[in-house]
Chains A and B, each alone.
Chain A
Amino acid sequence: MAQRIIVDPITRIEGHLRIEVEVANGKVSNAWSSSTLFRGLELILQGRDPRDAWLITQRACGVCTYVHGLSSVRCVDDAVHVTIPENARLIRNLLMGVQFLHDHLVHFYHLHALDWVDVVSALKADPAKASKIANQVSPAGNSGTSDFKAVQARLRKFVDSGQLGIFTNGYWGHPAYKLPPEVNLIATAHYLEALRQQARTARMHAVFGGKNPHVQSLVVGGVTCAADLNPDRISEFLYLHKETKAFVDNVYIPDLLAVAGFYKDWGAIGGTSNFLCYGEFPQQGKEPDSLFLPRGAIFKREVAKVQGVDVAKISEHVKHSWYEGDQAKNPAQGETRPAFTKMDTNDRYSWMKAPRYNGEPMEVGPLARVLVAYGKGHGPTKKAVDGVLKKLNIPVTALFSTLGRTAARAIETQIIADAMDGWIMELVENLKSGNDKTFTPYEMPEESTGVGLNDVPRGALGHWVEVKGKKIHNYQLVVPSTWNLGPRCGADKPGPVEQALIGTPIADPKRPLEILRTVHSFDPCIACGVHVIDPASNEVYKFRVS
Chain B
Amino acid sequence: MAEQILVLGVGNILLRDEGVGVRVVERLTEGYRFSTNVTLLDGGTLGLRLLDPITQADRLIVVDAVQWGGEPGTLYRLQADDLNRRLTFKNSIHQLDLVETLAYADMLGCRPEALVVGIEPADISPWGLELTPKIAAALDRLVAAVLAEIEAAGGSFTALPEPLDPGPRAPTDQVPL
Contacts and interface: CB of A to CB of B under 8 A. Distances in A.
A536 B175 contact: no
Interface string B159-177: 0000000000000111111
Contact of B52 (A154, A166, A202): A202
16 contacts: A15-B93, A59-B12, A59-B14, A59-B44, A80-B172, A102-B49, A165-B99, A165-B103, A166-B96, A192-B108, A195-B104, A195-B107, A199-B51, A203-B52, A442-B173, A525-B95
A407 B44 CA distance: 31
Given A195-B51, A535-B124, A61 B45 contact: yes
Given A15-B93, A63-B95, A165-B103, A532 B52 contact: no
B104 A166 contact: yes
Given A198-B48, A199-B51, A535-B124, A166 B93 contact: no
A198 B125 contact: no
Interface stretch (B70-78, B83-91, B134-142, B144-152): B83-91
B18 to A, nearest CB: 8
Contacts of A219: 176
B172 A40 contact: no
A537 B88 CA distance: 8
A532 B44 contact: no
A443 B172 contact: yes
A62 B176 contact: no
Q: Contact residue range for chain A?
A: 35 or more
Give me the 10 closest cross-chain CB pairs, A-B, nearest first.
A62-B45, A165-B103, A199-B52, A44-B127, A441-B173, A535-B92, A14-B95, A62-B47, A527-B93, A199-B51
Interface residues of B, number: 47
Q: Which of A102, A439, A441 has the most CB of B within 10 A?
A: A441
B107 A200 contact: no
Nearest to B69: A536
B129 interface: yes
Given A44-B14, A158-B107, A37 B49 contact: no
A234 interface: no
Contact of A439 (B12, B100, B129, B176): B176
Contacts of A400: none
A471 to B, nearest CB: 13
Contacts of B119: none
A532 B172 contact: no
Contacts of B15: 531-532
Contacts of B99: 165
Given A62-B95, A443-B173, A202 B100 contact: no
Nearest to B89: A538
A405 interface: no
Contacts of A158: 107
A41 B91 contact: no
Interface string A33-48: 0000110110110000
B27 interface: no
Given A44-B129, A158-B107, A214-B42, A532 B92 contact: yes
Nearest to A442: B172
Q: Which of A63, A200, A220, A540 has the most CB of B within 10 A?
A: A63
Contacts, number: 134
A65 B48 CA distance: 13
B38 interface: no
Interface in A215-243: 219-221, 224
A527 B95 CA distance: 9
A102 B47 CA distance: 12
Given A38-B126, A62-B45, A531 B93 contact: yes
Contacts of B96: 166
A65 B172 contact: no
Interface in B38-85: 42-52, 55, 67, 84
A100 to B, nearest CB: 14
Contacts of B43: 213
A493 interface: no
A199 B108 CA distance: 11
A195 B92 CA distance: 23
Contacts of B175: 439, 441
A41 B103 CA distance: 32
Given A192-B108, A221-B172, A532-B125, A199 B55 contact: yes
A65 B49 CA distance: 11
